[in-house]
Amino acid sequence: MSVDVSALLGSVPDGLLIGGEWQPGSGGKPVEVRDPATGTLVKTVAGASVADGLAALAAADTAFPAWAATPARARAELLRRTFDLLRERAEEFALLITTEMGKPLAEARAEVAYGAEFLRWFSESAAHLQGRYGPSPEGTGRVIVTQHPVGPCYLVTPWNFPLAMATRKIAPALAAGCTVVIKPAALTPLTTSLFVTLLEDAGMPAGVVNVVNTADPGPMSEALIGDPRLRKLSFTGSTPVGKLLLARAAQGVLRTSMELGGNAPFLVFEDADLDRAVDGAMVAKFRNIGQACTAANRFLVHTSVADEFTRRLTERARGLRMGNGTEPGVAIGPLIDQRAVAKTHALVRDALDRGATLHTGGTAPDGPGTFYPATVLGDVPAGAALLREEIFGPVVAITPFSDEDEAVALANDTEYGLVSYVFTESLARGQRMVERLHTGMTGLNVGAVSNAAAPFGGWKQSGLGREGGDEGIHEYLQTKYTLTPSPFV
């Protein structure tokens, strides 16, 4: 199905959604959205002032009691209807994601499918929430445990998965009975706004979801997080910003979920199936043009297979077509902005200056667009900045290791702990790695782990809490325990 881009952009609201009405807001700076493949202006949307943010919170607070009291089945059905609508309009959403974020259309379609799954998954969870009733051990009391929605939530999302990061928060929040204010990244606000119109079409009551865009997120976030009506902050983004918001949230002992940065190790052992490892590396590195928190950041490869792995991966990387994500066959779209290109290139230069070997890539083409080619670096020495920092670009950094203990030590030598990837044909080694690697998730002979049915999240400075799986809805619930005497004493 071909989509008319201007009709599509025309259908995206250009206001803020506060209390069920799309409106221009009260004078916040407008947010300009550009296509990173061309640099052209795609659309300008209203920017929220601090007062608009607080009005959105007031609307979420007003809507909360009725939404919390809405039967779980009805909340589930709203999510399920939205899932159906999203699938019907998948092609429009894919094109909108590519237009504002740059990823190749095939990957944007995969994001729509992934993002939609959170609606289906949490529509199923909503009706399955249960409490407990049972005797206290001494027999004199009865213990009742119940779950309650935490209340109005503030959801802050990044630009790299404009749809899936929104549905991964909105769906469990609504399933649990919470109302929300969502603040998408200023670089990619359009997908979230269009998505929220689907919730409206599916019958969402006014005030249950409110949308506030701003290019100056600090003051508004400060005001919302400091407001006692807010009961929960769920943030996905970089670790430095996450720490700032956590510190602010601590003042009010606010419930938080934090999905932060990563520095994923990708381990290839001497007993790996190299075809499988190279296939996994292509996904773990080049999906989303390397701009994923789960992107493989450090390739640790056993010395006996390092040359062969590097040769095969380099050949595949050279074959990746770079260009506008809307063009057929493109695998490397633009990076999100010029700053990302400059940062990626600085990391590559630093590694080369320290003695790494360049196998392919390494030079950004002249504009327009913010492109950086698939790049493979071998023999990256300890001390190179890209071993410590998230690269967030299509750059493979390979470091050889000589035994399992060294591989584990290198893999765990980071403050991050989101995901690791392990390639081995040995079951025992695979099991050892699962237990020895300090990450919240491990891809064992696979290069992508995301799944709505699984608890996504990190250890160490990669975050707090989980999204998806049976755990995801509990981030939006609080537990109450009631004691009552036994009816027999």
Cα dihedral 290, 293, 298, 299 sign:
negative
Q: DSSP states of 349-374 as a string?
A: HHHHHTT-EEEE---PPPSSS-----
Q: How far apart are CA 11 and CA 92, in angstroms?
A: 10
Q: Which is nearer to ligand NAD, 217 or 443 (CB)?
A: 217
Q: Are 353 and 370 in contact (CB under 8 A)?
A: no
Position among 261, 265, 361, 362 found at the interface with ligand NAD (CB under 6 A): 261
Query: What's the min distance (Å) between Cβ of 40 and ligand NAD?
Result: 21
Q: How far apart are CA 201 and CA 82, in angstroms?
A: 8
Query: What's the min distance (Å) between Cβ of 71 and ligand NAD?
Result: 31
Q: Which is nearer to ligand NAD, 207 or 217 (CB)?
A: 217
CA-to-CA dists, residue 301 to 15, 289, 427, 449, angstroms: 50, 22, 18, 20
Query: What's the min distance (Å) between Cβ of 387 and ligand NAD?
Result: 16
Binding track over 64-103 against ligand NAD, x by CB under 6 A: ----------------------------------------
As given in the structure block, the two tokens for residue 31 are 């947010």
Position among 94, 105, 185, 196 found at the interface with ligand NAD (CB under 6 A): 185
- β-bridge mates for residue 420, sequence order: 442
Q: HSE of 227 in the Cβ direction (CA atoms, 13 Å)?
A: 24
Please report whether residue 338 would count as binding ligand NAD according to CB under 6 A.
Answer: no
Q: Which is nearer to ligand NAD, 198 or 246 (CB)?
A: 246
Judged by CB under 6 A, the stretch of 17-25, 28-36, 159-167, 470-478 that binds ligand NAD is: 159-167
Alpha helices in 226-262 (DSSP H): 239-251
Position among 99, 191, 236, 375 found at the interface with ligand NAD (CB under 6 A): 236
Q: Contacts with ligand NAD in 287-306 (CB under 6 A)?
A: 293
Please report whether residue 241 would count as binding ligand NAD according to CB under 6 A.
Answer: yes
Please report whether residue 217 would count as binding ligand NAD according to CB under 6 A.
Answer: yes
Catalytic sites, residue numbers: 259, 293
Q: Are 379 and 340 in contact (CB under 8 A)?
A: no
Query: What's the min distance (Å) between Cβ of 486 and ligand NAD?
Result: 46
Please report whether residue 159 would count as binding ligand NAD according to CB under 6 A.
Answer: yes
Q: How far apart are CA 212 and CA 184, in angstroms?
A: 8
Q: Are 176 and 149 in contact (CB under 8 A)?
A: yes
For residues 43-70, one letter each, b for 16 or more C-beta atoms within 10 angstroms of the residue's C-beta and e for the rest, the string is: bebbbbbbebbbbbbbbbbebbeebbee
Judged by CB under 6 A, the stretch of 153-161, 171-179, 193-201, 317-325 that binds ligand NAD is: 153-161
Q: How far apart are CA 382 and CA 281, in angstroms?
A: 21
Q: Which is nearer to ligand NAD, 309 or 476 (CB)?
A: 476
Q: How far out from the chain centre does Cα 316 lie?
A: 27
Q: Contacts with ligand NAD in 442-481 (CB under 6 A)?
A: 458, 463
Query: Which DSSP state fits 489?
Result: -
Position among 390, 437, 442, 465 found at the interface with ligand NAD (CB under 6 A): 390
Judged by CB under 6 A, the stretch of 33-41, 156-164, 275-283, 360-368 that binds ligand NAD is: 156-164
Position among 260, 332, 473, 477 found at the interface with ligand NAD (CB under 6 A): 260
Query: What's the min distance (Å) between Cβ of 350 and ligand NAD?
Result: 19
The CB-based long-range contact list for 376-379 (8 Å cut-off, 24+ gap) reads 376/310, 376/313, 376/314, 376/317, 377/348, 377/351, 377/352, 378/306, 378/310, 379/355
Q: Contacts with ligand NAD in 417-436 (CB under 6 A)?
A: 418
Please report whether residue 144 would count as binding ligand NAD according to CB under 6 A.
Answer: no
Query: What's the min distance (Å) between Cβ of 293 and ligand NAD?
Result: 3
Position among 98, 99, 157, 310 found at the interface with ligand NAD (CB under 6 A): 157
CA-to-CA dists, residue 384 to 355, 362, 387, 388, 414, angstroms: 9, 15, 6, 8, 13
Q: Which is nearer to ligand NAD, 67 or 456 (CB)?
A: 456
Q: Are 265 and 300 in contact (CB under 8 A)?
A: yes
**In the complex, which residues of this chain contact ligand NAD (CB under 6 A)?**
156-160, 165, 183, 185-186, 217-218, 221, 236-238, 241, 244-245, 259-262, 293, 390, 418, 458, 463
